[in-house]
Structure 1
Amino acid sequence: MFEIRVICDPADADHITEKLAQTFTTGPARQYPNRHNTERTRVYVTAEHRADTEAWPTPDEAYALAPSIISEIGWTASAAADKPFGHALGREFWLRKAAVLDRIALADEDAGIHGDASEAAAKAAQRLMDADNAAAACDPRRYVRQQYAHWAKHQ
């Protein structure tokens, strides 16, 4: 549990409180006049992180719009090769790389193959989570599926 303090225009207080309640599990908002600027108000809200309310997509749902694995391997290899040395690869690269490795690992797991694909997929997924500053409380490969499904839907 944590407390959020917002100093804002009194007309914005209800809107801000509503948005915080959509993002966190919140207690009642407490409003007080600002001590130094009487045209502002202080809003205090006790909050907790919400449990995952959005269902994780299944692999079939997440990768429904994905190109073939071969195509994605080609894209990631080309994207990595085309980037000048020392320049950071963008989020799309890390997302697509993690997704293709997850798809390869899923195929291996379905076939009963116990190789390095699952470990590589987990490492790539963690790399994406690190790049996104995502909470470590969720399964990294599920996170990749969620993010890929969202990205593919908005392409």
Structure 2
Amino acid sequence: MFEIRVICAPAEADTVTQALAETFTTGAVRQYPTRDGDRVRVYVTAEQRPSHWPAPEAAYAKAPSIISEIGWTARGARDCLRGIQVREFWLRKSALLDRIALDDEHHAVSGEAARLAVEAARRLMELDDAAGLGPSGYADGPYTPDHPDSVREPRGYVRQEYAVWIGKQ
């Protein structure tokens, strides 16, 4: 748990409090005038919300082997460069990198997989955001690419999207 202090105009206090409540699990809100009396100090106790991402085991339960996905990704890169299956390429590539990173983390191996998985996940999120897909265009889960939880945990967004995509295959 932590405390957030915001100094703002009195008219902005409710908007700031609402935005914090949408991002964090918040507790009591306390508001005091600043010394100059022109602004207010807003104090909010907060904590990170637990994410509701699919567990990796569930998201990747029907996934092809990592070796198979490496082959598909290598072949899919050519199509992606031609503008074919761009979203599927980035979805499968980011899921592949997430799976490799999870395996590295499980075996306490240090490497670039986790960083690359996040980068690929952000690329997928950029594509989804640029496409302007609405809630029905994403997975049936609650997180869109611009949702604070997605921004905070891009690999979770990939798991959400992959679980729905693979379920439709």
Matching of residues 1-155 of structure 1 within 5 Å: 55-81=52-78, 83=79, 87=83, 89-133=85-129, 134-135=145-146, 137-138=148-149, 139-155=153-169
- RMSD over aligned CA atoms reads 2.2
Identity over the aligned pairs, expressed in percent?
52
1-structure distance, mates of 2:100, 2:86:
22
Deviations 1:17-73 (A, max 9, x none): xxxxxxxxxxxxxxxxxxxxxxxxxxxxxxxxxxx9x93100000000000000001
2-structure distance, mates of 1:136, 1:127:
15
Q: TM-score, normalised by structure 1?
A: 0.61
Number of residue pairs the alignment of both structures matches: 104
Where does residue 33 of structure 2 map in the other structure?
A: none
Q: Which amino acid aligns with 1:122?
A: V
How far the C-alpha of 1:86 sits from its partner, in A, is 5.2
- Could you say if the C-alpha distance between residues 135 and 70 of structure 1 is closer, same or farther in structure 2, counting changes exceeding 3 Å? same
Runs of 4 or more, structure 1, over 4 Å off, are none
- Could you say if the C-alpha distance between residues 113 and 151 of structure 1 is closer, same or farther in structure 2, counting changes exceeding 3 Å? same
1-structure distance, mates of 2:75, 2:154:
25
How far the C-alpha of 1:87 sits from its partner, in A, is 3.4
- Could you say if the C-alpha distance between residues 84 and 95 of structure 1 is closer, same or farther in structure 2, counting changes exceeding 3 Å? closer
Where does residue 33 of structure 1 map in the other structure?
A: none
Larger Rg over CA atoms: 1
- Could you say if the C-alpha distance between residues 59 and 88 of structure 1 is closer, same or farther in structure 2, counting changes exceeding 3 Å? same
Structure 2 unmatched ranges of 5 or more: 1-14, 16-48, 130-144
Where does residue 134 of structure 2 map in the other structure?
A: none
Q: TM-score, normalised by structure 2?
A: 0.56
Deviations 1:102-147 (A, max 9, x none): 0000000000011111000000011011111121512100000000
- Could you say if the C-alpha distance between residues 84 and 149 of structure 1 is closer, same or farther in structure 2, counting changes exceeding 3 Å? closer
- CA contact 2:80–2:89 (8 Å) conserved in 1: no
* Structure 1 counterpart SS, 2:72: helix
